Amino acid sequence: MYEGQRDQLYNQQFNVENTAFALQSAKDNIETVAAMQAASKELKTTVTKNKMLDIGKIDRLNDDLADLMVCVVGGWVVAWMMCVIVPSQPSYMHP
């Protein structure tokens, strides 16, 4: 008889602890969603106000840097100087 009551008490304790865990998980999820909403709103505001985050500008900057890296990668300082200092043909080379 005592074993049955003990088992019933253990089962009740397990159910209470399981319910408390589920309740805490639900509260945590609500806080997480609220934080995600706030972060999303802040990110949208930051991106729209900050012109430095213009995707077109970033893309052009990346292309410019890639062009410079092509000039520098071979280790040819002269080639790099031609890319940076003299981007077109000198006037004496024109017909």
Place of tokens 């945590």: 28
CA separation for the pair 88, 94 (Å, rounded): 11
Q: What is the pLDDT averaged over residues 69-80?
A: 54
What's the CA gap between 90 and 92, in Å, rounded? 6
Q: Is the pTM of this model over 0.75?
A: no
Q: Between 68 and 30, whose confidence is greater?
A: 30
Alpha-carbon gap, residue 16 to 7, rounded angstroms: 14
Q: Nearest-5° angle of CA 30, CA 33, CA 39?
A: 140
How high is the pLDDT of residue 62? 84
Q: How far is CA 72 from CA 62, 80, 81, 83, in A?
A: 15, 5, 9, 9
52-61 pLDDT tens trace: 677 788 888 8
Summarize pLDDT for 76-90 with one digit per residue, the tens: 554 545 555 444 444
- Kindly list the domain boundaries of the chain, sorted by start residue: 1-53, 54-89
